[in-house]
């Protein structure tokens, strides 16, 4: 052992020189270790920041591309038309662009749309019934304000097509019956179930009274006045029912009419295509405050293709449409 070192360490009061030497080395190494650790931490932070910036750049780039794609999609469809029209209108008249202010007259646009309808089946023999020459003949409004007389009965009732057995008075007015024949035939050709059939059509005033009275009895526990109010939202009061006109029909695939029908393929097809045959969904969703009748996805009303297209395209109820046009209010 180095004597001088021993003496120095001994003078310093250190009994274990070897341990002293190790401690000294650690003291010397600690700053270097700290510097190395700091450098590593900075390096890791820099890497994380670089990765974050790279991911942010990629995200912004993808966002920009998506926005551009959506913008172009909203402006142009596959055929190059503006998306201002409904899908049904484009299917009906793919060559007719949406009306542009000052460029296309609204009447010309409607005429082009309703005359450009095509079907899978050859329905040419039924075309005159779907698109009657007297386009205003079937646009009469029937509701709580505009009522039918007790003795009213159409003089052109014929047997309705595709009626379920047991249906009371299975009749419709001629034009409505023929247009319905075309609609359900085309529906079957497009994949709708043959279970899509007529469950109610023409009803006399007396039969409507029977149905209404029964519904009132169901809600008798509410008290007479409330029972009548509740019943009237489900079954029209006699004289206020479209069924008495012979122009309304209930069609669905269920054992009994129910709102769940809206979840079926058949309803979706009818909702998008009924106008082509001259029918409208008479009591749409969230329109009870206007029609006074609950949402009925099974109830369709014949008005002729011209008015059916305009009502479908505008999203109006028959009440709103008649009030705006002044038609059907007599």
Per-residue pLDDT tens over the stretch 202-246:
999 999 999 999 999 999 999 999 999 999 999 999 999 999 999
Among 38, 56, 72, identify where a domain stops.
72
Contact at 8 Å (CB) between 204 and 245? no
For the chain, how many structural domains are there in total? 2
Q: Do 25 and 162 share a domain, yes or no?
A: no
Q: Supply φ then ψ for residue 159, to 5 degrees.
A: -65, 130
Q: How far apart are CA 251 and CA 297, in angstroms?
A: 9
Among 18, 50, 72, identify where a domain stops.
72
Contact at 8 Å (CB) between 248 and 302? yes
Q: Do 290 and 201 share a domain, yes or no?
A: yes
Q: Do 145 and 286 share a domain, yes or no?
A: yes
Per-residue pLDDT tens over the stretch 61-90:
777 656 555 444 444 333 333 333 344 434
Domain that holds residue 67: 3-72
**What pLDDT is recorded for position 156?**
97
CATH of the domain at 316: 3.30.1380.10
78 in any annotated domain? no
**What pLDDT is recorded for position 67?**
57
With 0-12 / 13-18 / 19 or more C-beta atoms within 10 angstroms meaning exposed / middle / buried, residue 288 is: middle
Among 38, 72, 106, identify where a domain stops.
72
pTM for this entry: 0.69
Q: Do 30 and 167 share a domain, yes or no?
A: no
56 in any annotated domain? yes
Q: Supply φ then ψ for residue 282, to 5 degrees.
A: -70, -40
Contact at 8 Å (CB) between 283 and 320? no
Q: Do 46 and 132 share a domain, yes or no?
A: no
List active site positions: 296
Least confident of 89-103, 170-184, 273-287: 89-103
Contact at 8 Å (CB) between 164 and 199? yes
**Confidence at 326, pLDDT banded by 50, 70, 90:** very high
Q: How far apart are CA 321 and CA 311, in angstroms?
A: 7
Q: How far apart are CA 111 and CA 107, in angstroms?
A: 6
47 in any annotated domain? yes
């Amino acid at each position: 052992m180095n004597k001088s070192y021993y003496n120095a360490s001994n003078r310093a009061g250190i009994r274990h020189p070897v341990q002293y030497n190790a401690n000294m080395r650690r003291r010397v190494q600690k700053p270097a270790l700290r510097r190395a650790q700091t450098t590593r931490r900075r390096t890791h932070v820099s890497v994380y920041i670089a990765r974050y910036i790279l991911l942010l750049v990629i995200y912004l780039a993808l966002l920009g591309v998506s926005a551009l794609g959506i913008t172009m999609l909203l402006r142009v469809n596959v055929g190059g038309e503006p998306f201002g029209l409904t899908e049904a209108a484009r299917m009906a008249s793919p060559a007719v662009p949406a009306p542009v202010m000052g460029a296309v007259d609204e009447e010309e646009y409607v005429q082009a749309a309703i005359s450009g309808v095509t079907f899978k089946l050859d329905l040419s023999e039924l075309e005159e019934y779907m698109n009657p020459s007297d386009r205003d003949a079937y646009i009469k409004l029937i509701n709580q304000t505009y009522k039918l007389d007790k003795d009213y009965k159409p003089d052109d009732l014929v047997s309705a097509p595709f009626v379920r057995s047991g249906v009371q008075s299975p009749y419709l007015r001629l034009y409505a019956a023929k247009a319905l024949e075309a609609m359900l035939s085309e529906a079957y050709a497009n994949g709708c179930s043959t279970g899509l059939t007529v469950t109610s059509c023409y009803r006399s005033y007396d039969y409507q009274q029977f149905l209404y009275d029964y519904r009132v009895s169901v809600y008798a526990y509410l008290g007479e006045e409330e029972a009548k109010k509740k019943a009237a939202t489900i079954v029209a009061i006699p004289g206020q029912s479209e069924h008495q006109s012979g122009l309304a029909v209930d069609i669905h695939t269920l054992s009994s009419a129910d709102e769940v029908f809206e979840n079926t393929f058949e309803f979706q097809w009818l909702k998008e295509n009924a106008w082509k045959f001259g029918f409208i969904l008479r009591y749409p969703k969230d329109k009870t405050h206007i029609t006074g009748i609950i949402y009925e996805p099974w109830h369709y009303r014949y008005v002729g293709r011209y008015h059916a297209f305009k009502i479908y395209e505008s999203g109006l109820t028959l009440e709103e449409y008649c009030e705006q046009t002044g038609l059907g209010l007599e």
